Amino acid sequence: VRSLLLAALLGALGAGGTELTLELPDSAQRCFHQELESGTKITLDYQVISGGHYDVDCYVEDPNGKTIYQETKKQYDSFSHHTELKGVYTFCFSNEFSTFSHKIVYFDFQVGDEPPILPDMNNRGTALTQLESACVTIHEMLNAVIDSQTHYRLREAQDRSRAEELNGRVSYWSVGETLILFVVSIGQVVLLKSFFTEKRPSSSGAGT
């Protein structure tokens, strides 16, 4: 019984969904397509990890081309929807408003409701046993751990990107200050040298 419950628990953790980190160049757009049945629940979570002001445009279209979700210049957001039509749904990320900022975007696209970890769990007439209740609790805690790990992983990647960007700016500023210091030092030496340089009279002036 324990092995069956553990297998059901592990199987539920792998419920249908896609996680992807994509590279979004400046003035570019990336679209994804998914064929869905009517009445299917979809959930889209996304977050910009690095680039520019950490914002991106996002929209979702149904099979008829109708926009069912659209947001502009968002750092992160979540969208849930129950499909009304059968067909290919499209969701796109756009960086067309930026002419020089390169973006990295993470998204998690979930399709359908998570299946129960136990057979006929929603239609049972009896209460769960102690072992089954423990499995359900463990499953919920594992889901919370996975969500927390994803959240902190994205925060760590975002903070690292900002730190690297700040380090690059400090390095360029230091190089610029060093060059300016050399130019000023050389200019001061040349200027002081000109003060103490003896000017000899010209030969034509001496002859007259």
Instruction: Name the phi and psi angles at 18, rounded to 5.
Output: -135, 130
What is the torsional sign of CA 148, 151, 155, 158?
A: positive
Band of pLDDT at residue 115, cut at 50, 70 and 90: low
Q: How far is CA 73 from the centre of its chain?
A: 13
Q: Which residues make Cβ contacts (< 8 Å) with residue 29, sequence separation at least 6?
A: 92, 93, 94, 95, 96
- Name which of 2-16, 38-52, 84-98, 114-128 the model is least confident about: 2-16
Band of pLDDT at residue 149, cut at 50, 70 and 90: confident
Summarised one tens digit per residue, pLDDT across range 61-77 is 999 999 999 999 998 89
Instruction: Classify domain 15-115 by CATH architecture.
Output: Sandwich (2.60)
Summarised one tens digit per residue, pLDDT across range 151-192 is 788 788 778 877 888 888 899 999 999 999 999 999 888 888
Query: How far is Cα 173 from Cα 170, in angstroms, rounded to an integer?
Result: 5
